[in-house]
Structure 1
Amino acid sequence: MNKLTYTSILSLLILIVASCDVLNEEVVSDVTAETHFTTPSGFEDAVNGAYEPLRSFYGAEQGGNLTEYGTDLIQNAGHGGFHYMNQYNAGLNSEASPMQTLWDNYYIAINSANAAINRASEIEDMDEGLKNTRLGEAHFLRAHYYFHLVEHFGPVHLTTEETIGVEIEATRAPESEVYTQIVSDLETAINNLPSDPSEQEWGRATEPAAKMLLSQVLLTRGYKDFAESDDYSRAATLAESVINDYNFRLLDDYEMIFDNDNEENEEIIWAVQYGKDPLINGPGNRSHLYYRPWYEVYGGDGSGAGLVRSLEPGYGRPWIRFKMTPFALQNYRPIDQDSRYKKSFQDTWYYNDAASLPTDEYPNVAVGDTAIYIDPDMTAQEVEQNQDSAPYYLMSWATAHTNENINMFPSLKKHDDFQRPSVNEAAGNKDYIVYRLAEAYLFAAEARYQMGELPAAADHINAVRERAAWPGEEANITANTLANLQNEGLDYILDERGREFYGEQKRWITLKRTGKLLERVRNYAGLQESRDNIEERHLLRPIPATQINRTDGGYEQNPGY
């Protein structure tokens, strides 16, 4: 199956023209919206251009800042300049770049989608079926961008018209109106998009992808004071349709979902596209950098001896941004039942550099021997007692959050990308998974729970848990799901989502949806600053100062900023 190749549209000049799955660059000086967007190729360019800003969020550091930091699962490690996003301190303000990046790129994308939608009726000599499919994609993308904007910022400027010249007027539409537009766009998308995903290039929106997004949107609206009475039931039905009416399946092996050589697998419903051609890969998927610890300075005796960066699996280039909280680790227990800890994290590194082996201290060590090991069960005292006899750097879950180990912790394997041309190349080529089938089960479970249908909710959760079990542990891992759901309620679903989707840019928006952000951060955040500083106002992000300054008469800021 061909993959979608993204194109960019800037100031209505078409800088890149796509053809099939090979993209050729061509600078066009006399192209305008009037002459180009009303042609079949121009219409395709507008739709393709609406995909490109997805890369500014998925697999990008700023997207991770907005979705991973400041939650119960992930805290900042020692590196990077965006710790305020995790700690909810004064740096989280209207001039902070994560908010401006999301705002600017997503409104650019919305304008591309608007251009495609508004000009579709003017296009002649284009196959109507293809035109309707591309229209469905544009409606899907516009809904996606508005959904993220309204959830992060609350009331936002809502327009479905193409912006051609400079505009300095903007207003904030109520959240309920934005949601009405999002739902309408997705209903249109579902009606227009092909029901058979194989009819689309890999990476384009499809009918099941639109159903997934609409399920999430309705599930989210169901918690709000402007919810409609059937939001939960529709959310459940849509998610169950994705489960039952298409050819998706849960892969037998959880780890294979994220295999670099298995990117078009049967569990993936929709993924943002990256590729190996540096000319068209943009900044690349950089997630492989952010969840990796600073292993190269901790090896052997704790000085980094015997370890160097490598493209071999297990090493890579660390940027040391996102680190699991103590709660996130403990949430995987019992790890002898649930395979997702071992299949999500690396906790052992091996000497890989003969020239720097710590043979003065450990005379018998060799390449391939253990250099770092993080034990799940040792207490801090046991680590100290065993370190002298271990020819490697010894840690445990208990010591992974001490000051001396702020940059050393289990490494998330989901985003590993060892197909880059060199170890220090930041631009990864791995697609970023946005929706996969496990989330359809957990959307359906959450919706059924909210409807009071706990046995049905438990069945959906157990489909995910059974796949997560080590062989022979299926009955044990699913035995108490209904009882746990009855006793723990929504927290049990959130814990399950934490195990299944750790590090997949879903957590902040999930905790906000369920009304659990403040509670879970105060109870489980890894840093005391996060627990102490989070306030009600942090349920919305600050409106970027650039938007306020460039709007005639100003643009209302969110409360507390």
Structure 2
Amino acid sequence: MKKYIYSLTIIVASLFYTCSDYLDVVPDNVATIDNAFTDKFNTEKFLYTIYAALPSAGDVFNPGLNTADEVWYPRERNWNIDIPMGRQNVTTPELDRWAGTGKNNLYVAINNCNIFLNRIEGVRDMTDSEKELWTAEVNFLKAYYHFYLVQMYGPIVINDEEIIVSDSADKILQVRSSIDECFTYIIDLLDKAIVDLPLNLNFEVEELGRVNKLIAASIKAKVLMTYASPLFNGNSVYTNFKNSEGEALFPTAYDPEKWNKAVIACKKAIDLSEEAGIKLYQKEDYQNAFQANLSDETLLTAALRDRITKEWNNELIWGDTQFAANGSTLHGNSMTVLFPLTSQYRPAQTHAATMRIAELYYSENGVPIDEDVSFDYANRFKTRTASEDDKFHVEVGEETAVLNFNRETRFYSDLSFDRCVWYGNGKQGAEDDVYYIHKRSGEFAGPVSRSDYNMTGYAPKKLIGMDTEIAGGTRLAIVRYPFPIIRLADLYLYYAEALNESKTAPDSQVYEYIDLVRDRAGLEGVVSSWSNYSNAPNKPLTKEGMRKIIQQERLIEFTFEGGRFWDLRRWKLLKDYMNKPIKGWSVEEEALDDYYTPRVIFSPTFSEKDYFWPIPENEIINNPRLIQNLGW
């Protein structure tokens, strides 16, 4: 099977900047832009510069990772929690991509795309097929950068022509285009790219990092899913929102046909995935050097971790391997390294999962814990002692919260918590030789300092490679992997969602694609699980009920990957989630009952304006034809 991923060897990488060998190259010793296109060599370097502008999915400054309710940091870390704390502003907006500096300015990247497209035909030593391929790649990147901006700002300025300093004000000072115009433009560019991109890379070793037909088709599916969703489709709040020309920027009515288009795009991407040999990473795919005879429970837990952290695994469609120029790329230590491998090294665990995420995962019966007729939901914050039946996930004889028992396997593969079992990271042999995480105050994995500690008692084990471990007593051996941008499970759940929204009621096809993801996680199908274990057995039989099931399935499957933030936005649900307290355990307490007392860490506020980023104030001043987003 061909690999389509992206050779910059990072993720989960280091908190210091390291120069990569690929895709972050800028043309050197080039006096003018025209000189950059004198030959194939320099033209390719300019192409790499365009690639280097891709927003890093695995960077702590990725807005999808930490600007909502999924994780929380100590205030001293200040990794974008100003946004969920309600401190976004118009003067210097957090995580600005409209007029940001360096690679954070996507309009600079888009203009570089236009420069490239205007000059590629004149490069003397390139074949027509090479020009055709590189043009397709740049059309894809141009579409992707526009899409990224639309996700953040809503209606944007479409930049389809190269801008130079000497251009007239009429060309430079543009108005915002409508949502329909923006999405139509993006989709048209993707369609142009898809035609000329190869399904497989022609020279894999040399071209790792470049996009292909499957990536473009998958992103097109994501774009159409976003276009069809409530934030952009029938959003009545923006009915009277107009640009400076008096043109409506949002459609005035809900259009169900957008879901039909999303259905077609999702199925096309799934078909291409099958043709390319992409498949869900299964329990049978997990291997380790010890070749231990493991139980099904341990095998499944390990395989579910590997679905993210196994390098180049066969589920990944597009992964990010860029280094962040500002040195902020995710790192095993700053994120979630909780395994106590040596008394000489105490992990910081600052990337803390909120209580809301711990409650999100299903029970072992594959239904929400507040619906499961057998789950002790009312007493979930009390404690109980782990028995032999719990040995694969909780340390036998130790007490932890009821919330941590009888959960689906993804809960145990994705989350670390007090008294949990940690298999892997140097111990992948016998199942009775594992790590146990002790997180109460004064214990090894407890708080380290005011700026380096886990605020909630939960952390994303999901993001730590199975083979990451302490080397030499004091140094981390980090397993790096491409941070997922889109994988096959994305397409399956997108397809199930689009099918459900395009029908009056769910049918077997809707169930089929969500059940593929659930089956990989060791769960029964949707209809069976709700019928047998839920206090709402008919929930999967209605469009509205199935919508909630698909949404929860997505939120579970893609925790800590940056998808939750964008999904809750496009569904227009962030206002519901971000006006509720952020909670965790009382992690600074030593006594059992004190530790297992839920505490409010912060009470965020979220208003309608927060669905879109503010355009920087200076941009509005410099271009009077721009209209600011509502509320800013």
TM-score in same-fold range (> 0.5): yes
Kindly tell me: are residues 465 and 369 of structure 1, through their superposed partners in 2, closer, same or farther at Cα, counting changes over 3 Å?
A: closer
Corresponding pairs, count:
483
Whole-Å separation in 1 of the counterparts to 2:183 and 2:510: 25
Alignment partner, residue 209 of structure 1:
215
Whole-Å separation in 1 of the counterparts to 2:140 and 2:569: 22
| 2:285 maps to 1:286 | no
Alignment partner, residue 343 of structure 1:
413
Structure 2 counterparts to residues 409-428 of structure 1, below 5 A: 409-416=457-464, 418=468
TM-score, structure 2 length as denominator? 0.66
On the 8 A contact 2:27/2:46 being kept in 1, the answer is no
Q: CA deviation at 1:489?
A: 3.5
Kindly tell me: are residues 451 and 339 of structure 1, through their superposed partners in 2, closer, same or farther at Cα, counting changes over 3 Å?
A: same
| 2:298 maps to 1:249 | no
On the 8 A contact 2:319/2:485 being kept in 1, the answer is yes
Alignment partner, residue 99 of structure 1:
96
Structure 1 range deviating more: 37-46 or 411-420 = 411-420
Whole-Å separation in 2 of the counterparts to 1:193 and 1:77: 44
The equivalent position to 1:85 in structure 2, one of 45, 68, 83, is: 83
Alignment partner, residue 138 of structure 1:
138
Whole-Å separation in 1 of the counterparts to 2:225 and 2:615: 25
On the 8 A contact 1:272/1:431 being kept in 2, the answer is yes
Alignment partner, residue 541 of structure 1:
613
% identical equivalent positions: 20
Q: CA deviation at 1:3?
A: 6.4
On the 8 A contact 1:271/1:434 being kept in 2, the answer is yes
Q: Which amino acid aligns with 2:196?
A: N
Whole-Å separation in 2 of the counterparts to 1:530 and 1:166: 50
Q: CA deviation at 1:27?
A: 7.3
Whole-Å separation in 2 of the counterparts to 1:160 and 1:32: 21
Structure 2 counterparts to residues 4-83 of structure 1, below 5 A: 4=6, 28-37=28-37, 39-54=39-54, 56-63=55-62, 65-71=63-69, 73-81=70-78, 82-83=80-81
The equivalent position to 2:228 in structure 1, one of 222, 231, 240, is: 222
| 2:486 maps to 1:435 | yes
The equivalent position to 2:552 in structure 1, one of 473, 476, 495, is: 495
Determine which structure has the larger helix proportion and give its number. Answer: 1
Alignment partner, residue 506 of structure 2:
454
Unaligned runs of 5+ in 1: 7-16, 300-304, 351-366, 375-386, 396-403
On the 8 A contact 1:5/1:22 being kept in 2, the answer is yes
SS in 2 for 1:70: coil
Q: Deviations over 1:377-436 (max 9, x none)?
A: xxxxxxxxxx9xxx95799xxxxxxxx986252221233364899978999953221010
Whole-Å separation in 2 of the counterparts to 1:427 and 1:107: 34
Q: CA deviation at 1:231?
A: 2.6
Whole-Å separation in 2 of the counterparts to 1:523 and 1:486: 30
| 2:204 maps to 1:188 | no
Whole-Å separation in 2 of the counterparts to 1:23 and 1:179: 27
Whole-Å separation in 2 of the counterparts to 1:151 and 1:23: 24
SS in 2 for 1:309: coil
Q: Deviations over 1:341-374 (max 9, x none)?
A: 1111223589xxxxxxxxxxxxxxxx99856158
Whole-Å separation in 1 of the counterparts to 2:264 and 2:604: 40
Kindly tell me: are residues 479 and 552 of structure 1, through their superposed partners in 2, closer, same or farther at Cα, counting changes over 3 Å?
A: closer
Whole-Å separation in 2 of the counterparts to 1:164 and 1:507: 38
Alignment partner, residue 323 of structure 1:
352
Unaligned runs of 5+ in 2: 9-18, 235-250, 283-302, 365-405, 421-432, 447-451, 532-536, 585-599
Alignment partner, residue 560 of structure 1:
631
On the 8 A contact 2:416/2:458 being kept in 1, the answer is yes
Alignment partner, residue 438 of structure 2:
372
Whole-Å separation in 2 of the counterparts to 1:130 and 1:282: 33
TM-score, structure 1 length as denominator? 0.74
On the 8 A contact 1:158/1:172 being kept in 2, the answer is yes
SS in 1 for 2:281: coil
Alignment partner, residue 389 of structure 2:
none
Kindly tell me: are residues 424 and 406 of structure 1, through their superposed partners in 2, closer, same or farther at Cα, counting changes over 3 Å?
A: same
CA RMSD of aligned residues (A): 4.1
SS in 2 for 1:98: coil
| 2:455 maps to 1:407 | yes
Whole-Å separation in 1 of the counterparts to 2:575 and 2:620: 27
SS in 2 for 1:285: coil
Structure 1 range deviating more: 281-290 or 266-275 = 281-290
Alignment partner, residue 361 of structure 1:
none
SS in 1 for 2:438: strand
Kindly tell me: are residues 427 and 233 of structure 1, through their superposed partners in 2, closer, same or farther at Cα, counting changes over 3 Å?
A: same
Whole-Å separation in 1 of the counterparts to 2:313 and 2:270: 15
On the 8 A contact 1:285/1:428 being kept in 2, the answer is no
Whole-Å separation in 2 of the counterparts to 1:414 and 1:102: 34
Q: CA deviation at 1:443?
A: 0.7
On the 8 A contact 1:344/1:414 being kept in 2, the answer is yes
